[in-house]
Amino acid sequence: MSLLYQKQNQEIRPGVHLIQDVNASNSPMKYTAVKVLALDANASYDETLGAFEAGIVVLTGKVTVTADQQRFEGIGQRQSVFDKIPTDSVYVGTGLPFSVTAQTAAKILIAYSPTTTSFPVRLLKGDIHQIEHRGKYQNKRLVQNILPDDLPFADKLLLVEVYTDSGNWSSYPPHRHDHDNLPTESLLEEIYYHEMQPKQGFVFQRVYTDDHSLDETMTVQNQDVVIVPKGYHPVGVPDGYDSYYLNIMAGPTRVWHFHNAPEHAWIIDRK
Ligand SMILES: O=C(O)C[C@@H](O)[C@H](O)C(=O)CO
């Protein structure tokens, strides 16, 4: 089973280009799915959700989103994800129709999680994001929380974006969240949508379980997706390149409690 989904570029509607489409039909993921779309200026994408909730993240550009008689005009805060400006997102509740119209050339990520529990449509402005500077030495990363577990605005979805600069590691020391054992650990699947700066760069990502029954190390390139159905999932960024990834997480309980690999937990305690 490959955990790596390389970028596509398929025009699915006039001016709407499909970059990624990972879901239960082409992956083992049960709680999470993702679409990444590039929209030409003035292009529109619309969809009616089945028994899913969705988080629409405006990765780049300016768009107008309509959902459930609400209209959010001119949302989006950046031209590149590497502007490191928290962007805007829209949460759309289960079963609702939505549309996205690009005012400028734009890129959006639509994160999905199956649910029949309704939560209201909500604009998640970038300026509400909780920003974190995590790590030390070559383990530093910038975290911009979009929909963390302390915002009760969704049934299952958790969304966060992470910047890891040249020569650093993130999602490190390795941790897992694949045991439904609260309060110690929650069971959350995870999807990574990666971008690189400069674009020709790559990162290494390893996904592995304690018993190594799953142990895959991948070369991940710009706009690739990596799925983490279970296991530890560290990311290493080569010198000279900067990494961005957006994480989608979901599972039986919407809380992020992870377990650090014991043999590597000392990394956290360095002075
Ligand atoms: O702190 C980081 O390096 C980011 C990770 O926590 C990432 O968001 C993840 O693996 C969540 O489980």
Tell me the pLDDT tens digit for each residue of 9-54. 999 999 999 999 999 999 999 999 999 999 999 999 999 999 999 9
ipTM of the modeled complex: 0.99
257 close to ligand 1 (CB < 6 Angstrom) = no
Residue nearest to atom 4 of ligand 1 (CA): 171
60-102 confidence digits (pLDDT tens)? 999 999 999 999 999 999 999 999 999 999 999 999 999 999 9
Alpha-carbon distance of 14 to 264, in angstroms, equals 49
**CA nearest to 172, candidates 202, 206, 216, 215:** 206
Q: What is the pLDDT of residue 104?
A: 98
Q: What separation in Å is there between the alpha carbon of 246 and the centre of ligand 1?
A: 10
Residue nearest to atom 10 of ligand 1 (CA): 171
130-170 confidence digits (pLDDT tens)? 999 999 999 999 999 999 999 999 999 999 999 999 999 99
Q: What is the pLDDT of residue 252?
A: 98
170 close to ligand 1 (CB < 6 Angstrom) = yes
Q: What separation in Å is there between the alpha carbon of 205 and the centre of ligand 1?
A: 12
Atom of ligand 1 nearest to the CA of 141: 3
207 close to ligand 1 (CB < 6 Angstrom) = no
Q: How many CA atoms lie within 13 A of 206 on its CB side?
A: 13
209-236 confidence digits (pLDDT tens)? 999 999 999 999 999 999 999 999 999 9
141 close to ligand 1 (CB < 6 Angstrom) = yes
Structural domains counted in the chain: 1
143 close to ligand 1 (CB < 6 Angstrom) = yes
CATH label of the domain that carries residue 141: 2.60.120.10
What is the chain's mean pLDDT, rounded? Answer: 98
Four-residue CA torsion sign, 143, 149, 150, 155: positive
- Listed in sequence order, the residues at least 6 apart from 48 whose beta carbon sits closer than 8 Å to its beta carbon are 95, 96, 97, 98
Supply the range of the domain harboring residue 125.
4-268
